[in-house]
Structures are given as C-alpha cells and as structure tokens.
Amino acid sequence: MNFIKGVTFAPFACKGLLSKKETKYSFEKMLAGTGADFIILVPNGLQDTPQSEQIDFTSDATMSDEELTSFIKYAKSKGVRVALKPTANCKNGTWRAHINFFDEDVPCEPKWCNWFASYTAFQLHYAAIAEQTGCDMFIAGCEMVQTERREHEWRKLIADIRQVYSGPVSYNTDKYQEHNVKWWDCVDIISSSGYYPIDDWENQLDRIEKVVQKFNKPFFFAECGCMSTKDSNKVPNDWSVKGDVDLNGQADWYNAMFTACSNRDWVGGFCLWDWGAKLYPEAKADTDGRYGVYAKPAEKVIKEFYAGK
C-alpha cells in the first residue's frame, strides 16, 4: 500500500453540496494547503435511532449518486486517490457506535438480521459506485463498535462487497477498539480512528502494533484529528470540549502524532478529520475552535509532514 497522505473531505455532504463551486474551491485550497494526495468521501446513511432496522440513503441528507460520481472523477483528474466510506448515523443524534440489538432474536423486537440486510444494501450500493468510478479503496463503515462482535455478519458483508468491488477493502474501527475486532483477516487493510491524547501516542501505538503483527495487514488511520480548542489535545475525540481557541495546541497535537508514528514503519498513513465543503474566512481562522486546519498552524505542520513522505 502506498503511503496515504489523506484528508476526509466534506463528510456527510447533503444533496447538492458536492456540485457547488465553493466546494471545489475548498477542495483546491485543501490540496494546496496540506499537500494531500488521497481523500475519503463519506456518503451518509440515516436510521431513526440506534435500534432502528432501516437505513435510508436516498433523502436530501445524502449526496446524489450523480454528484458523487462526478466529484470522484473531478478529484481523480487532479491526481488524487479516492476512497468511499459509507457511514451510518442516527437521526436522533446518538453516536453510531451505540447501534445495537439483542444477541438473540426476540419476537416483536428489532433484530440484527434486519439491520444487517439494510446495512448490506447501503454498502453494496456504494461499492458498485466505487467499482464504476475506479475508487482506490472501499471502507465498509466507521466506528460501528457494538456491531463488531457480530463476526459472522461482518464476514458475510465483506465477502458480498468483494462480489461488487474489485479494489482493496478496509473497515474503520474506533479508537481503542483495534484489538477487539476478530475478523481483520477478511479485509485487505486495517484502519481505525486515531483520536489519542497528545501524551499517549506511544502507549496506544504499542497496543495497535500487536494487532498489525497478528494479522499481518497494512494499517492506516482512516480518521485522526484534534480541535483547535484549549485542552482538546488531551481528549481529541471529544467534540463537546468548550473553551478558548488554541491554535497552537492543535498544531502540537499533530506534531506529536506525526513524530510518534514516524518511528513505526507499519503506520501506512493518515486521513485527517476533516476539511469542510465550505471554508470559514481565512482572516477568522483564529476564532474557529473546530477540527478544521485551514489557515491555522496545524495546516503547515501537515503540509510539511506530507511533503516529506
């Protein structure tokens, strides 16, 4: 696997967003500002609650197939590799990691079999688009922690995807979960969300390294990032951290991640979270405390690191 110098671009874009001129402008700024050569696009699938069985990916909350196909072709025309990562979310705001059902079917209760049937249809729809457009990777979902124990269903899903998509297949597990997935042998690439505290990278990399060695698969961080809010670099996975904007704290976190991972030759790259379809004004970057790195010190850290790979 070639080293991934990646960014997650315009995640969960609603219908029409990828077709806007400002989105392509943002994309160009991302390429110039970070030196990325790889993006992950994230089609949005929605279910009402964590216990709902049906996933909808046809509403206005999800990019259309036509604009997704067009944007993939546009990105590839710029020499950028593209991965698709269709991701399920809950309309009620519950994090997808809590999607869960009884282990054994119970009459009149929602069931794993029905949910996996819907999730499989969701994944295969985008796997077909990935094949049609020549995507460089397909990632069969993200941070579905409670589902991961359903090993049989996941193995069947990966096998079904391979009937549709001929490229490399991965799955993006959540932070701290890499060692809990028992079916890494059936994917081509292990990936996870690397939202680790600034002072804990060595410890976590030691743990992940054992997983990579056990399964002998390529690995990369399909998500990783830190808000530019004070103390976010201590809990970079926590979207709810409140406080003053701290641009240098965000840059420090990226430096710590890149420094630690540079000593591990099995880390095959990063896809940073995230770069939005619409940018805040450059002059107001120092007032933005979110994950974006545009016009912030972290952007320079990223570009310098990617330039050296």
Q: What are the tens digits of pLDDT across the range 51-91?
A: 999 999 999 999 999 999 999 999 999 999 999 999 999 99
Q: Angle at the Cα of 107 (from 103 to 109), degrees rounded to 5?
A: 65
pLDDT in tens, 3-30: 999 999 999 999 999 999 999 999 999 9
Cα 145 versus chain centre, distance: 14
Provide the pLDDT confidence category of residue 306 given band limits of 50, 70 and 90.
very high
Average pLDDT over residues 206-218: 98
Domain boundaries, given as residue ranges, for the chain: 4-307
pTM of the model: 0.98
Q: Angle at the Cα of 306 (from 303 to 309), degrees rounded to 5?
A: 155
Q: Name the architecture of domain 4-307.
A: Alpha-Beta Barrel (3.20)
- First-to-last alpha carbon distance for the chain, in angstroms, is 13
